[in-house]
Amino acid sequence: MVDFNDSPAEAEFRAEVQAFLEETKQFRADGKNPGAGFGPKSVDKDKLADYEGWRDALAAKHWIAPHWPKEAGGAGLTSREQAVLNEEFSKAGVSNVGGFGTMMIGPTLLVHGSDEQKAEHLPKIMNGEIAWCQGWSEPGSGSDLASLQTRAVRDGDEYIVNGQKIWTSGAHHADWMYMLARTDPDAPKHRGISFLMFPMTDPGVSVQPLTQMTGHSDFNEVFFEDVRVPVSNRVGEENRGWYVGMTLTDFERSGIGTSIGTHKSLRELLERAKALPAEQSQLDKSEVRLGFADRTIDAEVSLLFSYHLMSMQAANLMPNYEASMAKMFGSEMNQRISRLHMKVYGLYGYLYDPDEKPGETDQASYRYLRSMANTIEGGSSEIQRNIIATRGLGLPRG
């Protein structure tokens, strides 16, 4: 059952978050989001002070990882309180600063990590000292991730890693990587994989940024040549890393902030469309006007998905195929919105300067080009449909 209403305690917490956002508005005086998903290395020097001020303000409230238990440095928020926090942050156009560290590898270590791994990594994630990236996809193993071929061969107290990862978000900014590597080539493909962690500065690790059709580089190729990883940096049992990784993937596909952000971006796009000169405006076209109506309905559906996930988490249930439904709908919705963005500007939407950084201008063409990755990153729509079919509908595997 989905509950849309705040309890008295949740309403009080919402007011607390709103007051916090008002008190910290100096860190976004230019209207820009001070958060950075890949740590301080990804922040422009002229924005670094705002980033650090925002990070320190979050840290003082234990809100860098608000969902973590208090003993791990978090705020111990309930799933509904987390949803309230994410909603209000999204309405204000701000994000957290923890990235992969707080969203994925941190929670995974809390479930599967050793006491030593938690002691070493959780404080560094919490204080923003370490930024993480994820070594998942390979040139021949994307949607079928379990077919990955990067090898980790045991050599005493170390693994020797050789292979390649691709589409690695933020690897050019990251300090550490967590990755899946094959440790038993003779085992069934899901059972011969281990979950490893290591610094990006280790000998044998090299990063090559990939230039996308937008002209920017969000993704990277990462090569491993005889990289030595201590066995103590393995999370979970040897050859059981696939199941550790799937815990992490469920964390990745849950969330509510994106749905609220979609409503906000649609309102902003409509206001910009209204302000266009008459010779540029496309709002008199029924296709565009109906497009805004359809995309607003999409945003409401996406929000319902998010509330459903939140209600499951509040009931101590782990969303699985339900998270895949939300992810697939949301990523395809983003592509529909990007097409509407292009239609709003008409032929002017084709103007594009790849030298301008994303977010500096309202470049419809950038949003359109970037959205092409939405249905691939985080698990392709085809994979999400397979999960929904087999785990949700009980259909046989093809």
91: enclosing H helix or E strand: helix 79-92
The phi, psi pair for 198, rounded to 5°, reads -165, 160
For 21-36, b/e burial (b = at least 16 CB within 10 A) is beebeebbeeeebbbb
Distance CA 306, CA 274 (A): 30
Rounding to the nearest 10 degrees, give the CA dihedral for residues 272, 274, 275, 279: 110
Burial class (CB in 10 A: 0-12, 13-18, 19+), 87: buried
Distance CA 263, CA 256 (A): 12
Residues labelled as active-site residues: 252
Q: Distance between the two ends of the chain, CA-based, in angstroms?
A: 32
Distance CA 237, CA 239 (A): 6
CB 168 within 8 A of CB 131: no
Which sign does the torsion angle of CA 376, 172, 40, 31 carry? negative
- The whole-angstrom distance between residue 65's C-alpha and the CA centroid of its chain comes to 14
Which sign does the torsion angle of CA 240, 245, 246, 247 carry? positive
CB 32 within 8 A of CB 94: no
Rounding to the nearest 10 degrees, give the CA dihedral for residues 17, 106, 199, 112: 180
